[in-house]
A and B are shown apart, each in its own frame.
Chain A
Amino acid sequence: MPIPPSVSGTDLPRESGDLPPRNALDAARDELRADTLRGAGGRTSLERYSARVDAIIRQLHADSGLGRTSAAVLALGGYGRRHLCLYSDIDVLILFRGTIGADEEKSLRAFLHPLWDLGVVVGHQVRELSDFDTLETDNPEFLLALVDARPVAGERELFDHFSTIFHTASTHGFILRSLLDLLDQRHAVFNGTLYQLEPDVKDSPGALRDLFSTRTIALLTDPLLLRRGPADPARFDDAEDFLLRVRSTLHLEGERQQNVLSHELQERTADLLGYPGAEPRMRVERLMSDYFRHARIVNRSLQWARKTAPVPVGPNLGVSRDGIRFLDPVQAARNPASWVAGFEAALTAQTEMSEEALSCIQQHVDRYRADDFFPQARERATLMRFLKPRPGLYDRLSEMHDCGLLGRVFPEFQAISWRVVRDFYHKYTVDEHTLLTIRNLERLWNGGTATRFRFRSILADLPAPELLVLALLFHDVGKWRDDDHALESVRMAAEVLDRLQLPADQRDMVLFLIRHHLKMSLVAFRRDTEDPEIVKQFAALVGTEERLKMLCLMTLVDIEAVSPETLTPWKEELLWRLYVDTYNHLTQRYGDELIERNQAEVDEVLQQRPADLSVAEITRFLEGLPQRYLQLFPRDAIYRHVRLARDIKPDEVHLSLEPNDGVWTLAVVTLDKPFLFSNISGVLASFGMDILRGHALTNPNGLILDVFQFTDDERFLELNPDAQQQVMRVLENVVSGRADVTARLRGRERSVFKGTPRFAPVVRADNEASGRYTIIDIVASNALGLLYRISRVISHHGCEVDLVLIATEGEKAIDVFHITKAGIKLTRAEQQALTSDLQRTLEGSV
């Protein structure tokens, strides 16, 4: 990130100050007047004058007592650039490290009053360092002036600290956008043309402000930008000197801040600047001819900079017409951890990596090892963001591969680079086949054909599609060897995932997908999927809907990447049928498959148990819960649930509430109680919580485990220190019957529960799918309190809610209730009465 130059040394030196400030200023002005009268009021003179003013400021600073506080005086804007003209405002920022108290205010007055007494116009700003924690977006002119800030007096280290806070990519991006807006507004005042008969040498198009704006754009985006511009840098500097000389004469003649080169002043200026010519008209024509020549150079450079300058999109990254560039290639070459961020920025900006950036990576990539690319969690998170399927992912991955980065970041992938496996069906090398699977996923994301729409809806449901991309990237790396590649791919991918330090559940998901990436096509195309036993076995393998969705998509895009002809509509249909049958099995029949003592999965949970949990305690908790429980929850969650269930008594409710990445997880363990599920969902709704996912599970001993994941859109839990305790207290009171949730919900019901659903709700009852339960399948518009309304209706019909699956996908809520009445399935009449009531409730008619 470019930082403006600053003076060296720890603290700024105080001038000797031979003259009192008044006399020093007069002397400095006399010197500048003399230079201007000689036609030499250009850059050198103005820098000298600015240095004289610096000395006066330092003297006043020393005399004021500001030096005894932790503060610094910074020159801003034109003064910061050392371009002070005779009557320019002197813009300063007095920056305090800490809070401004009475002593600081006293010193401040002692500094500013003598400055005002000098008769100069002072534009002063006073800030504490902490004020810069938040960007002053309502004051873009001030932010622009800060770009040119330099330290004049006081603590140098404070200025450095300020620079670190201020000069960030996001701040630069905001200032750049503001600058471009201000430019457009200013140009509009001049009708967008630089060819003014009486130009304003500060504000007209092509004048000084445009010149400084051009430099600022370069400073904020690419410090080397102007070297490649349409004008030779020397000519650009000449234009600056010329415009400053003209401005100095205008100030001198006008004896005020006069910037318009009027007809009257054109003659005098031409004379002072020494233009030859027998007649004043001829001298003026030459002056104005020079003016327009210089203004045109400035104007062209500005337009070029506007078109070419990379817009900052991240640390040392900018987007320009040729794609993402490293603003400082030398720094980029030393910092490989920033490279993947470049590709991620390209995806976000829907552009490509520039040839320059790719060459830089290609030139230096062999110096680094895999670990160098992800030294910290931040870089690992960037990679995972990068892998989210979006338009351009295949192209960016191909760029990474071509410049050698992909194989360096993942040596495991390098093993299949240009790898040829001869068989009857694959048409591409293994690496290209792999990348094509990701392109197919990306195309699915973008829409695809009508028959693919059903698969696209699965992809849209995935909470972490980047895990699927990760699995695709490594599903065939084991093909570097000639034998069974899936197991070798798992072994190699495990090493990658170790380096990426993926959470255990995500790691398991990726390895599962790689291990079984051929399984679904085998079952779909070579097994009799009309046999319920085949579907049952496949459902047992995948275990959860999320795994099923991922594996289904993986199979689809993998087959499609074999050759253009391989994925036929016939195969698509078989795959889809297996998906639907398995999905229905997973969501509707799991209540019939219960955990039994001595099964292998239980043994694993027991063997790895923490010291505080006994075999008996875990076994008692697990026995009789649906098998699905073991696949839904990671080990540590299972152990937490066992602890929650410890010593539970009939009138007790044991709760845990934990945040994770913006989503809260509530676990409730209790013994069976009437209206339990309805009460919990009602309490959450009463606090404005939006339930995303959840599971309600029951074991034969009457132990209930309800797990809800929800978002707190009103930030109640975040903003109130005792909010968690409050929610837990209300839950305990409502669940144990000491409080009534209906009263709590009255206000909310009026405001949010009613309303027209966005699509017609679907309610379906099924007595066949499960051996023990009546299944109520509900698809409805997601809304706050939806679950409460559904479960209340079910409870009012005298039904017991034994198992529930809650899922939310975009605007759609998909809830599957496993219910009984008096311990058995509902009769046909009972089903009809319940579904009618539910339908009316969801349509908002009751």
Chain B
Amino acid sequence: MKMIKSIVRPNKVDDVKDALAKLNIAGMTVTEVRGHGKQKGHTAIYRGKEYNVSLLPKMEIEVVVTDSLADDAIKAIITAARTGEIGDGRVFVMPVMESYRIRTGERES
């Protein structure tokens, strides 16, 4: 199994969700996060006063998929979240050693 953690623009969450749903990936965790990568924020000026927007609002989407689905899921996320501009986000992929269903204690493969 793989855990795919993607950091995307807030307005791309619905597109990513739809793309994953087409792969029958429904279970996911979505979190509001703030941070920056290469896109180091910018300075907004409001009435002569500068507002330094260094941490940008992003959405984090976590899904756990079988190894066989991982590549398709990654492609779907990248396609759905891409605008081509700096700040589109990142996708991280991590191996999952084990997984348990808390209600039943059942181990999933």
Contact = CB atoms under 8 A, between A and B. Distances in A.
The 7 closest A-B pairs by CB, nearest first: A762-B48, A570-B32, A779-B48, A580-B46, A528-B11, A580-B44, A574-B57
A356 to B, nearest CB: 49
Interface string A772-786: 000001110000000
Contacts of A584: 44-46
29 contacts: A525-B10, A526-B11, A526-B13, A528-B9, A528-B12, A528-B83, A529-B11, A530-B85, A530-B87, A569-B34, A570-B57, A576-B51, A577-B44, A577-B53, A577-B57, A580-B44, A580-B46, A581-B44, A583-B46, A584-B45, A762-B47, A762-B48, A763-B48, A764-B48, A777-B45, A777-B48, A779-B47, A779-B48, A779-B49
Contacts of A525: 10-11
A813 B75 CA distance: 53
B33 to A, nearest CB: 7
Interface string B4-31: 0000011111100000000000000000
Contacts of B51: 576, 580
A637 B12 CA distance: 44
Contact of A570 (B9, B33, B45, B48): B33
Contacts, number: 53
Contacts of A574: 10, 57
A51 interface: no
B53 A526 contact: no
Nearest to B59: A570
Interface residues of B, number: 21
Contacts of A762: 47-49
Contacts of A814: 47-48
Nearest to A524: B10
A355 interface: no
Interface string A299-328: 000000000000000000000000000000
Given A529-B11, A577-B57, 9 more contacts: A530-B85, A568-B32, A570-B33, A573-B34, A573-B57, A583-B46, A762-B48, A777-B48, A779-B48
Contacts of B87: 530
Nearest to B9: A528
Nearest to B86: A530
Contacts of A583: 46
A571 interface: yes
Contacts of A573: 34, 53, 57
Interface string A795-830: 000000000000000000010000000000000000
Interface in A569-622: 569-571, 573-574, 576-577, 580-581, 583-584
A526 B14 contact: yes
Interface in A471-525: 525
A577 B46 CA distance: 10
Nearest to A769: B45
Given A530-B87, A580-B51, A571 B32 contact: yes
Nearest to A777: B48
Contacts of B44: 577, 580-581, 584
Interface string A729-772: 00000000000000000000000000000000011100000000
Contacts of B12: 528
Nearest to A523: B11
A526 B10 contact: yes
Nearest to A570: B32
Interface string A556-574: 0000000000001111011
Interface string A423-459: 0000000000000000000000000000000000000
Nearest to B51: A580
Contacts of A68: none
A566 B47 CA distance: 29
Nearest to A587: B47
